[in-house]
Structure 1
């Protein structure tokens, strides 16, 4: 056959590559790799056990085996070494763990080599040194060694004089690498991301007069940028200094472009640094700028009105800084702008139609979480852009539901939480959610039902929490096959939870604080991917389901508090080893606390991207607290309070070394506090009040350095209250009332020699104790007049009987009294 070009990449093929492919001996270009970059399609799942057949491709110029499983890597390299015409070789993501030691290299015509994302140098037995034969690849122009563990260039790279593009990102290279690169005069693109490069060695790049792109993200660049690097930076079109500990003012060449002989800068990345400076007016003089990314830095002041001079600007990302004042309407003149992200700053102004006049190319608009932003557009205004993302959390958009959204037909993400909207959910919302994956309209005053969303089949996340939605949860939500997160908490929804929700592949389900009734649907047994289930504060009534522990073993958070569940806590719950947050408070559970709760290992909770907008409320440290977003990731909670539990506190609970909040209050627990409770080193809040616990308070509590709340009131503890460390600050006597045999400095009651109380405790205030106090007051108030009346009666009898001697005695006593 005369076939010269064959591309089977990203086609969804699987199995072993047939050896008879070698019969296509005239092939010049063969692509068998998977999907990568911006290519969309079904990835291949191909394997190869032998590559000896590729030696037949004597004319092969381009060979792509990326993301294939190669079982014999030695055979791979021996076969490649028999391809003298090879110009381009892609072995990205093939799980290679070693490079061969060639004595002779035959593929010296190679101009492009990609061995990115392998495991080279990641084990002690495999070398992390670039092998010497690389120096023979003198025609190499494009070399990608990224995402391996190389750490020593051994001066090999300095001989690759034709190199124009070099990517060594995410390895272990240090400053010695720059010595090897200083002779590569043709180098245009250099990616050093994720290595151990310091400012002190960057001057070695001064000879690279062709260098245009320099990426230094995630290195060990600290402190001020040396002014001596200005000449290097002035030559660049792309500079990435993000994710370093750089501080101080922005460098001179950014604040004053006239310091550069030639102003070439197109892309500037300064995100996640510690630059502390005004947003410089001089930045707007970099006329070629297309990208400004200074996310999560310390910039302050106002955006200059002259921002409109950056006519080529495509991306403006300055979120999470301390910028303030008004947003200049001149931003609306940036006709090439594709992304505007000024969220999480201190802007206080009105945003009007003028801010969007010429933004016809805008695809992402993020204004969320500023000090006081108000969107004030006319009722008949419609934008000229077709954005994919809108973020307007905490922007005053309401009170009416924004009509201009109707024209946005390709919306992927809509976030308008806490936007002051007081309105019905419009029926036309179903039209703009057809392509939407994320919808967040939480913390508004929306009313009505939510069946309008039943056709949004691409939705992955819905958050309508904290509104005034009413009616039943529509069963047609089961149509949303891509739905992974559903949050309808804190509304006025009623009726039973539809069993059809069990047909989804949910990871997060929040239905707390509604008026839901009935039982947890048995179909929820199918939600095996569920990580968070919150049904707290409803009117659900059922025996505690044993299948939760048997089926939902991916749970990290389970909140069923403030319902009417009854029965014993099933031992099957202990099968959920990943559980980090368990709240069963305020039900009718009885029996003992399972000792196997000590087996909860609580792995790492899902990453930040998975918790955006989620809210969980819990009664901790004596008050209700709400946790939002990433805060949820940090919490480890066990709350079994307000039930009918009996027995002792299992000593196995002290194995939960990650635990931060433990609340077992208002039960009928007895016995003593486990002596090893001090092993809970992360504990911040401990509430054991209103039980029948007894014995001494363990001294190990004094070793809990993070403990900021402890309530042991209304039990039968005895002996001294431990002191030391954090306990010294827990001096609120109400934490210990109702334990008459306690003593110690914290309650100002001395202990006798055997460690028990010397003085009877004053009767505590509140509840039944107030009644006791009143009874004692009346008792003592009645003694005095009773005594007087009785005494006078005795005197009267003696007087009548004329016993003068006794009369004189009592008269004497009366005078002394």
Structure 2
């Protein structure tokens, strides 16, 4: 109840008050006037709010009301509710001299100390509001002496209560608010004293730290309770059943209170319930929702969002005819939207965002003519958007993003004259969007049509009726020329025209309207020409001009994010970049034609991501780069950088990704890098680095996933400490001068001992939903260098080829059952191929060529049904080549250079007494006629294994590899690209879930 309302109700109805500012017939009592003046003396009144407090008649003072015959002061009304400077200081005991006082409001001020104990002597007090008045400490229990009190509000986070027994003395109390007061010490004992207040109508205990319920009450006295607000409690318990027996309840809010269990069935029978908010409880179930729909005829507000609810929307949803606000967002509601929803003629707000709803949008949704907001985004809805949606003439927000809707966008949307936000992004919508779709949308401020297949077809002189702030049309066809209608838009702050089929130059007039832009994305078009340097945008803007054909020197706008990658920018990076771009956090200039050195001033920018890869940069890496203490990503790969790796990089302790590969760097790996304990990718491949592999690589990088040191001049033995890298998935030490044996303890590489089934997109330096640095690595498979990005986290690989490794192939390596690529070729490894090689069931590529291996090829290798590439050539292997399953598809080059091998696909036939032949047959007979002349195609085990291969879904790669072995690597790269296309929608939906609190 508002203070103003309360005071003037008393003025009008009681007939006792003469209120300040009204002509007075009586004068106030002199003693009470002196008490008020003494009260004023104790207050800090910097805005002279009490300037009227002078003269002899205090009944005319601001905030004072008196009895209309006796002149006794009945009300002191000094709230600070209009943003004025609050009163401060202390409340002097002279206030207690106002014995007739019925109304005291000091709320919203900034007093010091505790709530005065002497307030308990104001025995006639009916209204006391001390909320957010600055008082701190314990609430004095003697307030329980105010037996006439009807309204009490002591809400404030600085107040505490150890015991609520004193409240039971307030027998006249109708309204109690103690929001944010610390009640955590009460446990479940807070309810019994309140249950003794028979007249209590409203109870507000929001964010008080309540931590329990009493589940049994001797008697239930809440016969008048209408409003119950316990939002933000810490119950971690189920709702008590007695709560559903308070038949007088009109409004219940126990949201964000960690409730568990089921909603009591009695809630469905509360005859007066109009508002129920049980949102954000995570473990609260409403399995009886279908029953509730039958009974809740009066309910107007229903909020059960973020509760982990399962089930379907009730078919009788249309029975809740009083419903105004309906919110079930972020649950697991499945099934369709019932057509009975059209009966909810009073409904104004629907939020079913982030559920598992399926089916199509019912045409009856067009009957909700009072609807103001409709949010159905991030579900699994299919079918078309019904044209009846044009009937919703009061609609301001329409959000259908991240579903599977298809068909066209109905032009009836153009009739929604109140619409301010339209979001149908991330669907499968197609067709032409014309001027008719916007004809009455004069209030539109947000348009998001991105990630569909729309074609915008408007006239060249079209002037939209709206002035939008958010304009997102990524993946819609807007070209070929830059949209001229954009020139009329004067308020655009977010603009996304990415992948829109636009070519040619950006017109000059566009750069004149960018000064208020906070987000600009025109990536993946065919735009060309020079970019103004600098161009005018806000200092916190995200600017993405990547994947176009822009030329000339790089522009230097002072922005937060700048992505100019994959263009044709040339020249050097300006020396003053550190001074000009002081706000920059994300910079990608990758894939251009930049030359010259990396400027020293780069160290003056607080960057999170720096990507200068795939250019022609030369010179040394400046030591100043170590001053970029916020860096998580440093990518300088594929340039012409020389000199040593700066020691200063070891100062960037938050670094997660470090790419320096494909340069001309020399010297040793500096020991300072062992400080980079958060490193996940270390890529120094294809340089001229020397020395032994430091032991600390295996000791100080607990999160390392990728280690690539290939094609350098490293020497010495493999450190045993490499086995400590429990997160390692890619180990590439190929093309060095390493010697010694392969440590058996590599079997401790835990991430390789299990199949990687979940695609964890390795995104670093996340700045927004659309801008991340995508982790990448080049992996050589079957002679092809493949770049992995989206499927990188699914890959497990070891490549030690082209070294001087010796000794036997340790059997322990076959414990790495998640391994997909193993290349130990061109070393001096001896001994036999372990029979346990069959344990590597995920193996896609195995290259053991160019070693000194002897003995047979184990028959068990035939069980590796995923194997697409095999090379054991140029060893000393002997015996019959296994020929079952996919082994029959490898050509002769896979086995050449082994004089002792025989059988298909070699031309050497096997005799009956071939060495070690018995190892190649399941029955141990070792006779060629048992294998049908070595072909093995009539063996019953062959047919069984083919069946298993089909069941595993391997037919396509099996046939591809059978036709041409070199196609295997191309297939892997195709999978990586396809994964991006198939997963982009889900990835963006997942990002929206992380930001679910935002609308």
Smaller-chain TM-score bracket: 0.7 to 0.9
Match of 2:347 among 236, 242, 253: 236
Residue of structure 2 in register with 1:527 after alignment: 652
Residue of structure 1 in register with 2:148 after alignment: none
2-structure distance, mates of 1:73, 1:352: 69
Shift, 1:202, TM fit: 0.5
Matched, 1:335 2:442: yes
Shift, 1:270, TM fit: 3.6
Match of 2:399 among 282, 293, 309: 293
**SS of corresponding position for 1:624:** strand
Q: Cα 1:216–1:639, aligned 2, differ >3 Å: closer, same or farther?
A: farther
Match of 1:173 among 285, 300, 303: 285
- Structure 2's unaligned 5+ residue stretches are 1-89, 92-104, 111-133, 144-151, 543-559, 728-750, 752-757, 921-927, 935-999
Alignment of 1:417-456 (within 5 A): 417-429=523-535, 431-436=537-542, 437-451=560-574, 454=578, 455-456=580-581
| Cα RMSD (Å) | 4.4
Matched, 1:347 2:457: no
2-structure distance, mates of 1:54, 1:730: 82
Match of 2:415 among 300, 303, 309: 309
C-alpha contact 1:458 1:480 (8 A) present in aligned 2: yes
C-alpha contact 2:232 2:257 (8 A) present in aligned 1: yes
Shift, 1:562, TM fit: 1.7
2-structure distance, mates of 1:230, 1:514: 61
Q: Cα 1:283–1:136, aligned 2, differ >3 Å: closer, same or farther?
A: closer
Alignment of 1:718-733 (within 5 A): 718-721=878-881, 727-728=886-887, 731-733=890-892
Match of 1:561 among 685, 698, 715: 685
**SS of corresponding position for 2:326:** strand
**SS of corresponding position for 1:175:** coil
Deviations 1:196-245 (A, max 9, x none): 4433x603544322213334445555555554x34456653333445455
**SS of corresponding position for 1:157:** helix
When normalised by structure 2's length, the TM-score is 0.62
Residue of structure 2 in register with 1:484 after alignment: 608
C-alpha contact 1:270 1:293 (8 A) present in aligned 2: yes
1-structure distance, mates of 2:882, 2:106: 83
Q: Cα 1:434–1:248, aligned 2, differ >3 Å: closer, same or farther?
A: closer
Shift, 1:251, TM fit: 1.8
Alignment of 1:201-240 (within 5 A): 202-217=314-329, 219=331, 221-222=333-334, 224-227=336-339, 229-232=340-343, 236-240=347-351
2-structure distance, mates of 1:135, 1:282: 42
Matched, 1:154 2:268: no
Q: Cα 1:599–1:376, aligned 2, differ >3 Å: closer, same or farther?
A: same
Alignment of 1:45-194 (within 5 A): 51-52=161-162, 61-65=176-180, 72=185, 74=187, 77=190, 87-91=203-207, 98-101=212-215, 103=217, 111-116=227-232, 120=236, 127-128=237-238, 130=240, 132-133=242-243, 135-136=245-246, 138-139=248-249, 141-146=251-256, 148=258, 150-158=260-268, 161-169=272-280, 170-180=282-292, 182-184=294-296, 185-193=298-306
183-192 vs 450-459, greater mean Cα deviation: 450-459
Q: Cα 1:72–1:285, aligned 2, differ >3 Å: closer, same or farther?
A: same
Residue of structure 2 in register with 1:801 after alignment: none
Q: Cα 1:244–1:80, aligned 2, differ >3 Å: closer, same or farther?
A: same
C-alpha contact 2:318 2:344 (8 A) present in aligned 1: no
Residue of structure 2 in register with 1:5 after alignment: 107
Deviations 1:683-737 (A, max 9, x none): 4444444455555555565555544444444444444555666x45863444444
**SS of corresponding position for 1:618:** strand
1-structure distance, mates of 2:211, 2:883: 57
**SS of corresponding position for 2:649:** helix
Q: Cα 1:187–1:280, aligned 2, differ >3 Å: closer, same or farther?
A: closer
Matched, 1:198 2:311: yes
1-structure distance, mates of 2:193, 2:900: 84
Q: Cα 1:418–1:738, aligned 2, differ >3 Å: closer, same or farther?
A: farther
2-structure distance, mates of 1:641, 1:429: 50
Q: Cα 1:145–1:263, aligned 2, differ >3 Å: closer, same or farther?
A: same
2-structure distance, mates of 1:356, 1:721: 74
Match of 1:413 among 515, 519, 529: 519
Residue of structure 2 in register with 1:263 after alignment: 369
Q: Cα 1:526–1:388, aligned 2, differ >3 Å: closer, same or farther?
A: farther
Shift, 1:618, TM fit: 1.6
2-structure distance, mates of 1:729, 1:73: 76
C-alpha contact 1:388 1:413 (8 A) present in aligned 2: yes
2-structure distance, mates of 1:500, 1:447: 24
2-structure distance, mates of 1:694, 1:147: 68
Match of 2:639 among 514, 519, 539: 514
1-structure distance, mates of 2:459, 2:616: 34
Shift, 1:75, TM fit: 7.9
Shift, 1:25, TM fit: 8.8
2-structure distance, mates of 1:244, 1:620: 42
**SS of corresponding position for 2:499:** coil
**SS of corresponding position for 1:472:** coil
Deviations 1:292-341 (A, max 9, x none): 33333333343344442222222222223233344424556533333322
C-alpha contact 1:421 1:446 (8 A) present in aligned 2: no
Shift, 1:392, TM fit: 3.2
Shift, 1:560, TM fit: 1.9
Residue of structure 1 in register with 2:774 after alignment: 614
**SS of corresponding position for 2:715:** strand
Shift, 1:423, TM fit: 4.2
C-alpha contact 1:423 1:447 (8 A) present in aligned 2: no
Q: Cα 1:521–1:239, aligned 2, differ >3 Å: closer, same or farther?
A: same
Q: Cα 1:448–1:392, aligned 2, differ >3 Å: closer, same or farther?
A: farther
C-alpha contact 1:710 1:735 (8 A) present in aligned 2: yes
Q: Cα 1:309–1:529, aligned 2, differ >3 Å: closer, same or farther?
A: same
Matched, 1:501 2:661: no
Q: Cα 1:162–1:587, aligned 2, differ >3 Å: closer, same or farther?
A: same
Matched, 1:360 2:502: no
Deviations 1:322-373 (A, max 9, x none): 333444245565333333222222335578876773442323x323345785
C-alpha contact 2:333 2:355 (8 A) present in aligned 1: yes
Q: Cα 1:133–1:242, aligned 2, differ >3 Å: closer, same or farther?
A: closer
Residue of structure 2 in register with 1:250 after alignment: 361
Deviations 1:8-30 (A, max 9, x none): 9xxxxxxxx99735469988343
Residue of structure 1 in register with 2:40 after alignment: none
Residue of structure 2 in register with 1:774 after alignment: none
C-alpha contact 2:317 2:338 (8 A) present in aligned 1: no
C-alpha contact 1:425 1:447 (8 A) present in aligned 2: no
Q: Cα 1:417–1:589, aligned 2, differ >3 Å: closer, same or farther?
A: farther
Matched, 1:393 2:498: yes
Shift, 1:513, TM fit: 1.8
Q: Cα 1:463–1:674, aligned 2, differ >3 Å: closer, same or farther?
A: farther
C-alpha contact 1:5 1:30 (8 A) present in aligned 2: no
C-alpha contact 1:143 1:163 (8 A) present in aligned 2: no
Q: Cα 1:349–1:645, aligned 2, differ >3 Å: closer, same or farther?
A: farther
C-alpha contact 2:469 2:494 (8 A) present in aligned 1: no
Shift, 1:535, TM fit: 2.1
Shift, 1:285, TM fit: 3.7
Shift, 1:417, TM fit: 2.8
1-structure distance, mates of 2:456, 2:596: 38
When normalised by structure 1's length, the TM-score is 0.74
1-structure distance, mates of 2:284, 2:894: 54
Alignment of 1:18-29 (within 5 A): 20=137, 22=139, 28-29=153-154
433-442 vs 528-537, greater mean Cα deviation: 433-442
Shift, 1:137, TM fit: 8.8
**SS of corresponding position for 1:409:** coil
